[in-house]
């Protein structure tokens, strides 16, 4: 994770803050006649908008023919926005190439796993490894940077847009050549590559580098090591494009902060954003709410992870939706109160900017049914009234800007490579999914009122008293040693089924599962026992198990059995175990422990186990202000004090004991208690000193 303040010049230099909360949207004036622009800025001022992302999909208008520039319309928009006090996060406009580029150079077009060329007519129809596309994209980037370097509206650069959203996996010949170079850099020799990929299986041994291809469509299962490295390579290839545009901007406009919008929670799961942190000056993220009751916690989970990817520093919510999206099978609108709740939940987890896609809902094109800040119905609408209300609330939250998320005592690990590998083909079961499993443990912690940080695997685990690591499938030796040291130092680890099974090359650790973690946990699993759809079993505690169970065949003498299987073929066998670990050096604190959950116990089972562990692990005791799990407690703080964000997780009003000044949200306070409206968030300045 990033730790150097120079990588967050947004906060350090104040280009986008602190001092006022930033509020706005993607703005696409090129979709509208000139007379609409004046109405746009009038409504922006009414709503409190003070920043927009501009020019994201404008390449075809900025360069209508190769090397011929038309900046006149963009000059007009930049000037109009500046005159009305609205700053610009200016895009490099390289996200979607113009038709003439694909016509002249069809070799820039991506190729799918089965050899299908992806043609123009949508967006992101370019190969991340195409040298031809790179040349044209950098030429445009330089032209924009040179023209607008000193423009007073410019406060940040927006590099491309949602990099890798639709073109992450390209199987073209360009990708094949770049993949080989990447592999040579990683392995140096074919002997090392053959060992890492296990090519002795199915006669896959390589003798020449140019024999190696991307994992294109094949008769049956493709090589797991090849797939994993191609995932790593593809993430790095898109990152390399980010760095190339970044370098041009840094050369021409070194004092203008640069970012790109991550998609930490969206459909691109195969980008390791933790590796991108030093390539941006501040973290930005796009997030779209999952509809239904689950969505509240899902939004919080990914916002929490984004805040911790940013190292606890403020970050930029670049995109979310005012109401419905257009790309799910069914796209319900947001319920009353949800627009403000979603925004303030992100702010609680560290966002100092709240922006939407997009300002004005499109009348044409593929996203015309995606909601905007100004909907098709116009300003006289519930959505726009909520937008104006949120703008006023964000202005009142100016004192929060620049503060950091206060670190929790419990960390929940999220590991991208375990996400990638655990969901692959040819495994014992296709259920459950890694992201669903981590989310259910997060929800169980919130149910108990426990404040938790969702952290990438590279986080310093010693900053936490408890670490929850569900389905930590990929465990290299170095990670095994880190987890062992954490427990030896007095930390409490909880991990679950299908953890520790493979190393960094997707090779199985031998000797029994959970492989790399077997000695730490003190148990040996003889075989997995995944369950067919509709099957269930139960534990002695009454917890119902679906999808996954394991046969623990050996338990060390110092391991406590917390629960057993009650019925079926595993009746009487250990299901949940706990091994006491070391003692924090010189502190006299309680010894650490390592708990293993061999079954898919679900949210209720996870909650029951954590509640049991809380008897001697005080960090799991919960916060009284969480009102028995009805409220999520989020804290931002600096040397001046703390700001509590109390997010109501229910559809009923909730009253909690929270004194202090109520400075925002859908809530009322009598000075001693705060009543939070259904689906509301209360923001309370409690004035207490920051916990050390």
Q: What is the mean pLDDT of residues 569-575?
A: 96
Tens of pLDDT, residue by residue over 237-262, are: 999 999 999 999 999 999 999 999 99
Phi-psi region of 572 (alpha: psi -120 to 50; beta: other; left: phi over 0): left
- Residue 336 or 359, more confident: 359
How high does pLDDT run on average in the chain? 93
**CA-based end-to-end distance of the chain:** 21
Asked whether residue 265 carries a pLDDT value surpassing 90, the answer given is no
Q: What's the pLDDT score for residue 687?
A: 59
Q: What's the pLDDT score for residue 1?
A: 37
Q: What's the pLDDT score for residue 525?
A: 97
Tens of pLDDT, residue by residue over 52-78, are: 999 999 999 999 999 999 999 999 999
- The 3-state DSSP class for residue 309 equals helix
- Picking from 650, 453, 447, 648, the residue whose alpha carbon sits closest to that of residue 658 is 648
Q: What's the pLDDT score for residue 295?
A: 81
Asked whether residue 106 carries a pLDDT value surpassing 80, the answer given is yes
The DSSP secondary-structure symbol of 506 reads S
DSSP-assigned beta bridge partners for residue 525: 513, 552
- Catalytic residue status for 319: yes
Q: What's the pLDDT score for residue 583?
A: 44
> Looking at 294-298, 381-385, 455-459, which range is the least confident one?
294-298
Asked whether residue 22 carries a pLDDT value surpassing 70, the answer given is yes
Q: Strand order in 661-665's β-sheet?
A: 404-405, 631-638, 641-648, 681-685, 661-665
Question: Could you check whether the bond before residue 432 is cis, i.e. omega within 30 degrees of 0?
Answer: yes
Confidence of residue 659 (pLDDT cuts 50, 70, 90): confident
Q: Is 186 exposed, middle or buried (0-12, 13-18, 19+ CB in 10 A)?
A: middle
Question: Could you check whether the bond before residue 18 is cis, i.e. omega within 30 degrees of 0?
Answer: yes
Catalytic residue among 63, 162, 231, 245: 162
> Looking at 29-43, 372-386, 415-429, 566-580, which range is the least confident one?
415-429
Q: What's the pLDDT score for residue 658?
A: 87
Confidence of residue 323 (pLDDT cuts 50, 70, 90): very high
Please tell me the pTM assigned to this model: 0.94
Q: What is the mean pLDDT of residues 79-93?
A: 98
Asked whether residue 99 carries a pLDDT value surpassing 70, the answer given is yes
Asked whether residue 15 carries a pLDDT value surpassing 50, the answer given is no
Asked whether residue 692 carries a pLDDT value surpassing 50, the answer given is no
Q: What's the pLDDT score for residue 270?
A: 80
Q: Where are the alpha helices (DSSP H) in 32-126?
A: 34-47, 59-62, 72-83, 99-104
Tens of pLDDT, residue by residue over 191-239, are: 999 999 999 999 999 999 999 999 999 998 999 999 999 999 999 999 9
Catalytic residue among 63, 231, 245, 319: 319
Tens of pLDDT, residue by residue over 499-552, are: 999 999 999 999 999 999 999 999 999 999 999 999 999 999 999 999 999 999
Q: What's the pLDDT score for residue 485?
A: 97
Asked whether residue 37 carries a pLDDT value surpassing 70, the answer given is yes
């Amino acid at each position: 994770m990033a730790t150097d303040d120079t990588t967050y010049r947004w906060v350090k230099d104040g280009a986008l803050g602190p001092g006022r909360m930033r509020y706005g949207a993607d703005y696409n004036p090129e979709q509208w006649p000139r007379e609409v622009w004046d109405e746009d800025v009038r409504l922006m001022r009414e709503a409190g908008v003070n920043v927009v992302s501009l020019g994201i999909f404008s390449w075809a208008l900025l360069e209508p023919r190769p090397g011929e520039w038309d900046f006149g319309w963009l000059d007009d928009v930049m000037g109009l926005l500046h005159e009305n006090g609205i700053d610009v996060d200016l895009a490099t406009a390289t996200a979607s190439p113009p038709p003439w580029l694909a016509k002249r150079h069809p070799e820039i077009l991506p190729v799918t796993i089965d050899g299908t060329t992806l043609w123009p007519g949508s967006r992101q129809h370019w190969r991340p490894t195409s040298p031809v596309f790179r040349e044209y994209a950098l030429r445009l980037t330089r032209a924009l940077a040179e023209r607008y370097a000193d423009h007073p509206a410019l406060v940040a650069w927006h590099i491309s847009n949602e990099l890798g959203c639709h073109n992450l996996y390209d199987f073209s010949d360009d990708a094949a050549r770049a993949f080989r170079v990447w592999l040579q850099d990683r392995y140096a020799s074919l002997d090392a590559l053959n060992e890492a990929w296990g090519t002795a299986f199915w006669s896959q041994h390589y003798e020449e580098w140019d024999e190696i291809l991307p994992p294109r469509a094949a008769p049956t299962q493709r090589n797991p090591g090849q797939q994993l490295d191609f995932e790593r390579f593809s993430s790095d290839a898109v990152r390399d494009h980010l760095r190339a545009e970044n370098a041009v901007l840094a050369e021409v406009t070194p004092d203008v902060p640069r970012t790109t919008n991550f998609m930490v929670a969206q459909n691109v799961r195969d980008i390791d954003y933790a590796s991108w942190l030093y390539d941006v000056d501040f973290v930005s993220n796009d997030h779209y709410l999952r509809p239904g009751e689950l969505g509240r916690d899902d939004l919080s989970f990914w916002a929490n992870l984004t805040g911790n990817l940013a190292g606890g520093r403020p970050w930029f919510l670049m995109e979310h939706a005012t109401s419905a999206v257009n790309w799910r099978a069914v796209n319900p609108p947001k319920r009353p109160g949800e627009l403000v709740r979603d925004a303030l939940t992100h702010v609680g987890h560290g966002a100092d900017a709240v922006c939407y896609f997009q300002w004005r809902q499109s009348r044409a094109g593929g996203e015309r049914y995606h909601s905007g800040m100004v909907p098709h119905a116009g300003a006289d609408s519930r959505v726009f009234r909520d937008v104006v209300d949120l703008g006023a609330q964000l202005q009142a939250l100016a004192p929060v800007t620049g503060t950091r998320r206060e670190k929790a005592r419990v960390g929940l690990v999220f590991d991208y490579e375990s996400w990638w590998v655990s969901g692959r083909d040819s495994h014992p079961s296709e259920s459950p999914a890694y992201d669903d499993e981590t989310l259910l443990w997060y929800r169980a912690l919130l149910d108990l009122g426990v404040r938790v940080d969702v952290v990438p695997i590279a986080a310093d685990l010693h900053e936490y008293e408890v670490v929850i690591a569900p389905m930590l499938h990929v465990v290299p030796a170095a990670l095994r040693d880190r987890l062992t040291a954490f427990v030896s130092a007095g930390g409490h680890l909880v991990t679950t089924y299908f953890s520790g099974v493979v190393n960094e090359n997707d090779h199985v650790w031998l000797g029994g599962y959970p492989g790399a973690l077997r000695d730490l946990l003190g148990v040996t699993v003889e075989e997995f026992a995944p369950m067919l759809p509709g099957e269930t079993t139960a534990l002695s505690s009454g917890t119902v198990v679906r999808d996954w169970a394991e046969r623990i065949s050996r338990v060390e003498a110092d391991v406590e059995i917390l629960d057993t299987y009650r019925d079926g073929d595993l009746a009487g066998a250990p299901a949940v175990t706990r091994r006491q670990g070391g003692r924090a050096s010189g502190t006299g604190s309680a010894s650490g422990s390592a708990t293993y959950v061999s079954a898919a116990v679900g949210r209720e089972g996870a909650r029951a186990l954590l509640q049991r562990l809380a008897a001697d692990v005080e960090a799991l005791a919960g916060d009284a202000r969480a009102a028995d799990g009805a409220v999520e407690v989020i804290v931002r703080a600096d040397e001046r004090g703390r700001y509590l964000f109390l997010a109501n997780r229910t559809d009923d009003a909730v009253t909690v004991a929270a004194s202090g000044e109520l400075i925002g949200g859908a809530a009322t306070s009598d000075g001693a208690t705060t009543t939070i409206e259904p689906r509301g968030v209360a923001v309370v300045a409690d004035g207490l000193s920051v916990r050390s």
